[in-house]
Amino acid sequence: MALTINGLSKTYPNGVKALKNLSLSIGNSMFGLVGPNGAGKSSLMRTIATLQDPDSGTINLDGIDVLRQKDQVRRILGYLPQEFGVYPKISALDMLHHLAVMKGMTSSSERKETVDALLQQTNLWDSRKKALSTYSGGMKQRFGIAQALLGNPRLIIVDEPTAGLDPAERNRFLNLLSSLGSDRTVILSTHIVDDVRQLCPRMAIIASGELLLEGAPSETIAALNGKIWSKVVATDEEVRSIEASLHVISTHLVGGKHEVRVHSDSSPGDGFIPVESDLEDVYFLNLSQQTKRPLVN
């Protein structure tokens, strides 16, 4: 399955330009869409999910015109938005049966088999009869994936699925996503770079509605080998002095001091040491080149 996006633009009535002539190709795999809050990720996801129309551009899904043939898209789509509502007093079991009926699963035996399998797959079987209002954040996200998988969709969109989860629940959720396999297209939209590093063979970085980079995470990291330098300094004044003369891509607090990471083809000197590049460096470098300022963590 291939999803092809060409020249997509969207401006909201308040004047915010959420998407700016964005073009992107997504193949049959887990694809990471990463960017800061407000980058346009959710706007793009809502547009692909047929929940809003762009001002211009096209989206093609294996010969289906997404913007014109919305019903066909919805039949093969599973969608977990950043925020989704549930009936708090209904159990996960009953809610999934209700949603399955709405998706056209009229056979009770088929519905039972499907719902039971999804509850097992998402590790919610033991809690299937509990009210959804009693679920933790991670359990609610796993329920969200269960409902998105109803009907065996060929395209799955998950928008900021690990935001707000504690480390244990985040690991459970990432393991669940990785189990979805390679027989469908899964788009993972997130601002957490490490989620993409762990799961996605290909990725794109967007910011301010524009595509900054597209490629394989391993290849984008390799392109920075030998070009990332680090120095730990004690004061804000030292950080500002370095920013004035070098291409600082990010700063991190380490034990109360500032680790300054610089992009340079050769040694910046003055106490800098070469360090192994990672996906955060790729991410911060592209954002800093767009905003013309370093990123502070």
Report pLDDT digits (tens) over 77-108.
999 988 777 788 999 999 999 999 988 888 99
Residues 149 and 121: their CA atoms lie apart, in Å, by 10
- Residue 99 has phi, psi (to 5 degrees) of -70, -35
**Token pair belonging to 133:** 């209002």
Q: Is 182 exposed, middle or buried (0-12, 13-18, 19+ CB in 10 A)?
A: exposed
**Token pair belonging to 213:** 């980079």
Average pLDDT on 233-256 reads 93
Lowest mean pLDDT among 110-114, 162-166, 186-190: 162-166
Residue 229, strand partner residues? 262, 274
Which residues make Cβ contacts (< 8 Å) with residue 69, sequence separation at least 6? none
Q: What is the pLDDT of residues 174-189, one digit of tens each?
A: 888 888 866 789 999 9
Residue 275 has pLDDT above 60, yes or no: yes
